[in-house]
Chain A
Amino acid sequence: QSVLTQPPSVSGAPGQRVTISCTGSSSNIGAGYDVHWYQQLPGTAPKFLIYANSNRPSGVPDRFSGSKSGTSASLAITGLQAEDEADYYCQSYDSSLSGVVFGGGTKLTVL
């Protein structure tokens, strides 16, 4: 049971837009702590995708965007491509645990 809740799976056709939600609580996202996102392609290490809710590191396509509101955050991917098929994880800080928490991960399938 992860502290941050993500849907187990989402899917979309090439070219479409998909969103992945990440729901927390008053001790993490709701407390104002930033949310960060990672993309994990099959058999590889996670790749840093979004930091501080909505910022893209250098080299990440602008098809990826993040947002945060209240106790939740979202990752949006537009212009879906086959290469986007991967697992996506959200991450934040939790004051009750005094540490890092991850979402359970969402598997994105490109139809």
Chain B
Amino acid sequence: QLQLQESGPGLVKPSETLSLTCTVSGGSISSRTYYWGWIRQPPGKGLEWIGSIYYSGNTYYNPSLKSRVTISVDTSKNQFSLKLSSVTVADTAVYYCARHAFASGILLWFDPWGQGTLVTVSS
């Protein structure tokens, strides 16, 4: 079945750029019926959508993070990636990647999810 796995540094210094990659296995990232999304969860807090990307490269971003976020896709590697610039301690969170259903131009549910990776912003 489809599986997603996040990877990347677990520690990032303030003001630097957080970079994560999500590897998709058991299915193609070039599916025409799904986007691929990033969601984060600060310790002890709720879920926050970061953004989502289509295999063609079309993206949707959370307006509150848009100025600092870049999501890209590499169909040859079946991967998509997240870059978050100018990080602060407030960006410390578990970062999840997930397949993102969509229809009629509307972003729908996330399923399945990766296991998540904790990224700590600290000097």
Classify chain A: how many residues form its interface, as a range. Answer: 20 to 34
**How many residue pairs, one in A and one in B, have C-beta atoms under 8 Å apart?**
65
Q: How far is the CA of A38 from the CA of B46 in the complex (A)?
A: 12
Within the complex, what minimum Cβ distance (angstroms) separates A47 from chain B? 8
Q: Do A45 and B60 contact each other (CB < 8 Å), given the known contacts A36-B109, A93-B108, A105-B46?
A: no
Q: Is the CB of A100 within 8 A of B107?
A: yes
Please name all residues of chain A whose beta carbon is closer than 8 Å to the beta carbon of B62 when the two chains form the complex. Answer: 97, 99-100
Report if A57-B106 is in contact (Cβ < 8 Å); known contacts: A102-B48, A102-B49.
no
> Do A2 and B46 have beta carbons less than 8 Å apart?
yes
Number of interface residues of B (CB under 8 A): 24
A58-88 interface code vs B (CB 8 A; 1 in, 0 out): 0000000000000000000000000000000
User: Is the Cβ of B108 less than 8 Å from the Cβ of A97?
Assistant: no
51-69 of chain B: CB within 8 A of chain A: 51-52, 60-63
Which residues of B approach A to under 8 Å, CB–CB?
Answer: 37, 46-49, 51-52, 60-63, 96, 101, 106-116
Of A2, A48, A98, A104, the contact of B60 (CB 8 Å cutoff): A98
- In the complex, A102 Cα to B110 Cα: how many Å? 12
Contact of A102 among B47, B51, B63, B101 (CB under 8 A): B47
Given A97-B63, A99-B61, does the pair A45, B113 have CB atoms closer than 8 Å? yes
**Most chain B Cβ neighbours within 10 Å, of A2, A97, A99:** A99
The 6 closest A-B pairs by CB, nearest first: A48-B111, A100-B49, A36-B109, A45-B113, A105-B46, A102-B47
Smallest Cβ-Cβ distance to B112: which chain A residue: A48
Given contacts A89-B46, A89-B47, A104-B46, contact A99 B109 (CB under 8 A): no
Q: Is the CB of B109 within 8 A of A46?
A: no
Contact B47–A93 (Cβ < 8 Å): no
Chain A, residue nearest B60 (CB): A99
